[in-house]
Structure 1
Amino acid sequence: MSKRWTLGALAVLLLACSGFAAAQAGTVSVTVQVRDAAGQPLAHAVVQLDSPAAANASRAGSPRRIVQRQRRFEPDQSVVTVGTAISFPNQDTVRHHVYSFSPAKRFELQLYTGTPATPVVFDRPGVVVLGCNIHDEMLAWVHVVRTPHFGQTGPDGQIVLNGVPLGVYEIGVWHRRLPEGVVVPRPSLRVLASTPTQVVTLNTLSAP
């Protein structure tokens, strides 16, 4: 038996053992693929696994920043857990008036430069749309979740959620190109030691 084959076999064995150990410990990885109605992968889709146990395990995240630079919000899309505080530094030379009228978080930071003294705490789950009352072209989204099992899809439309305890969840998926007012079904998922890739299709609007 060659040394190369031995090392390769050992690597496969270690990988298999690590997956088995995670399953034995009660956690696994869950892969979700998000596509549009034409079957194309959707990047930047927010995916979350919700359950009563997940809600109880959710904690506020580390403080975050959404910077205003060149009359844009950076980043223009964030996902945070309930209770996370976000500051809004204005690095432009013009003043901004940041606000949201979304039910999940209504607030206003009236005309200012620099960094407001008090960050905004996002204390309810839901989608929060941010705008600037002076520059209408400025838009951003904060998706607030009450679960530790969440993420955003990559260019291939996939997200791998690691460390998910075995159990029953609802899969929540959101994309900012969804038509306003559309309610996306939340399929039930039983997470087992071996859980196949979950495929979710969204009827999104065309990219601008």
Structure 2
Amino acid sequence: MIIRTNIDPAGIWRIWALAAACGLGTVTGSTAAANLEVTVGDQAGAAVLGAVVELRPLSAAASAAIAEAANGEMAQQHQAFSPHVLVVREGASVTFPNRDPFHHHIYSFSEAKTFEIELYSRGEVPKVVFSKVGIVALGCNIHDNMQGYIYVSAAPHFDSTTDNGIVVFASIAAGEWAVEVWHPRAKQRVSTTVTVAHDEGRPKMVAVQIELEMRRLDELELLEAGGYD
């Protein structure tokens, strides 16, 4: 059963991470993990590109250590943000290289990060640190059609779907997990649960459906021009 909810992005996993640190319910050994494959589709059954998928432990056995934040890149190319959706861990630095032969002036007024990078030209690579969990909507003060999103996560595991709508998480600890999915055109965040068993030589598979808003005409024109990844 799929449950639609607005779970706090910094939620339940912190409690279980603390329990694991105290040695409560810890599962050890190379067999106590498995791969998890998540497929995201829309209401028409089509694969969804750029959906953010997060895994949060719902049991002490499923707890996972939090890796250090890896840096990300949000390029400006073909008068678009590339990728359209970038997911990073809280505390990560993101570079904004301009690969277009003209200036950009990008900004965000989002609560998770308010910033502005004024006029900068091809070859310049400004950098911004994202230290607060949340969704950062991006725009360009010169090109109104440009939209992008940086999703700052505190989950132990996260990724975004490829063009086939799939994310594969390797070596997920056995136990119960919440699978949460967000997309900029989704009407609401979607969450479901999955129980990961010990490795049986094949990945655990789960499918999640999200309902997407229709694209605006200007977005479709940009897609035809090759603007979005």
Does 2:37 align with 1:38?
no
- Report the equivalent of 2:197: 192
For 2:124, which of 115, 130, 133 is the aligned residue?
115
Q: Tell me which of 87, 97, 101 is aligned to 1:89.
A: 97
State TM-score, norm by structure 2: 0.69
Question: For residues 50 and 89 of structure 1, what CA distance do their matches in structure 2 show?
Answer: 32
Q: Given residue 71 of structure 1, which amino acid in structure 2 is its aligned partner?
A: Q
Does 2:133 align with 1:128?
Answer: no
> How far is the alpha carbon of 1:137 from its aligned partner?
1.1
The answer as to whether partners of 2:182 and 2:190 remain within 8 angstroms in 1 is no
CA, structure 1 residues 196+23, in 2 after alignment: closer, same or farther (shift >3 Å)?
farther
User: How many residues are aligned here?
Assistant: 181
Check if 1:51 corresponds to 2:60.
no
Q: What does residue 9 of structure 2 align with?
A: none
Shift of 1:200: 1.0
Amino acid aligned to 1:32: V
**Cα displacement (A) at 1:99:** 0.7
Q: Which amino acid aligns with 2:69?
A: A
CA 112–157 in structure 1, closer or farther in 2 if over 3 Å, else same: closer
Residue in 2 aligned with 1:17? none
State the superposition RMSD in angstroms.
Answer: 2.5
1:87–1:115 Cα contact (<8 Å) kept: no
How far apart in 2 are the matches of 1:68 and 1:30?
32
TM-score normalised by length of structure 1: 0.75
Cα 1:72–1:39 shift into 2, 3 Å: closer
Deviation at 1:132, TM superposition (A): 0.6
Are 1:27 and 2:36 counterparts? no
Cα deviation, residue 23, structure 1: 7.7
Pick which of 71-80 and 133-142 moved more: 71-80
Residue 142 of structure 1 pairs with residue 150 of structure 2: yes
Structure having the higher helix fraction is 1
Measured at CA, do residues 156 and 168 of structure 1 come closer, stay the same or move farther in structure 2, by a change above 3 Å? same
Q: Which moved more, 1:86-95 or 1:25-34?
A: 86-95
Q: CA deviation at 1:59?
A: 1.9
2:73 maps to what in 1? 65
Conserved in 2, the CA contact under 8 Å of 1:31 and 1:159? Answer: yes
The letter of the residue matching 1:190 is T
Identity %: 34
CA distance in structure 2 between the aligned counterparts of 1:108 and 1:47, rounded to whole angstroms:
28
Q: Which amino acid aligns with 1:89?
A: P
* Deviation >4 Å, runs of 4+: none
> Unaligned stretches of 5+ in structure 2?
1-27, 221-229
Residue ranges of structure 1 left out of the alignment (5+ in a row): 1-21
Q: State the one-letter code of the partner of 1:33.
A: T
